[in-house]
Structure 1
Amino acid sequence: MAHPHSWPGLGDEELLIAVANTAHGERDELADAGSVRAWWDGLGAAGADDRPAEPDGVAVLRGLRGLIRGLALRNNGIEPDLSAAAGLGAVALRLEVSGAPSLRADVPGDLARDIGAATVAALLRATARPGWPRVKACRGEDCRWVFIDGSRNTSRRWCAMANCGNRAKMVTFRDRHRGTSPRATRSSS
């Protein structure tokens, strides 16, 4: 039986970003067991196994999504409320040392819990690397898309300047120039 972290092409940061970006706008790819299966299959794991995704495991994945987004927001200078992640302390994991050491779901066989265990292991490894501060969440309040900041000086703030960045800059511009119309300035001179 294949484990989530063993599929080629899905490294630690990629898995974290994939889990974090499962909800955007109206779409929630972790809404239920069927959507978790479809999301996982869409990542290229189709046909790997037929384990079910149980509701408790799906809830764990949603909690991990919030935690990853919160930590990525912190990397982008925003202090998030991580209190919802407190429930993740009850996630039962076991250390497996046969072969390469890894974390596994305490009770294997639930696809969502197995993905959750692989995600926790990926999070622990990624946060220990020097590149972790580059994993960021968009500052756009209606976005929060998680991305890798590839800028030279780690200064990227938005998922895409063309969308969220421009929208934020327009809000700042309007706030700065509110109440200072050219007509008002001419009459006061």
Structure 2
Amino acid sequence: MTESATGSFAFPPRSFGSAQELIDFFESAPISDRILSNADHAYRKWREDQINEEVRAAYDVYGNDPKIVAGARENPINSEREARIFVNKVRREADAKRPVRVIDQHRLRNVLRAHQIWAYSGTLPTEDEEREVLEYKTQGSDFTIVQVVESNSTREWLERALTDSDLAAVDAMNRVAQALEEQAGP
């Protein structure tokens, strides 16, 4: 990303003098391909983590059910098969609740812009201007800033994407380091 006196998409000015100034800045600030790629990766990782957490929580309840525990003692092979069926069903349901992509790649920029406008709306001098910004609809969108942020859960994953580092490569290196630590043992 190039630095400028007015800031960049990931590192904007500290505050804005008006709602229109904030909107104009983020609607026109260039978004690097790296940030777009990172956003896609960050969402996919967040999505997979959410699905895994939902499966773990459901399995904890399932595995602690006295009927399931008794069935496992009586017929461990059948119990294992039933547990796999249960986990696969929960995973399919959790997967269906979350789209594979935030939005198509052509509209991803609007999601990023909406998030940044939402994130910096608190820097505005008045509550009226903040409200104006939150009700604003980004270029080419039928949804307000708040609707875009909430429907895409950007608060949960987007901050990770606002870096010039290759997020996918960083995550891959972390997985390798973790695997090496596990191999080495205590």
Per the normalisation by structure 2, the TM-score is 0.28
The structure, 1 or 2, with the larger RCO (C-alpha pairs under 8 Å, 6+ apart) is: 2
Per the normalisation by structure 1, the TM-score is 0.27
Higher helix fraction (1 or 2)? 2
Larger radius of gyration: 2
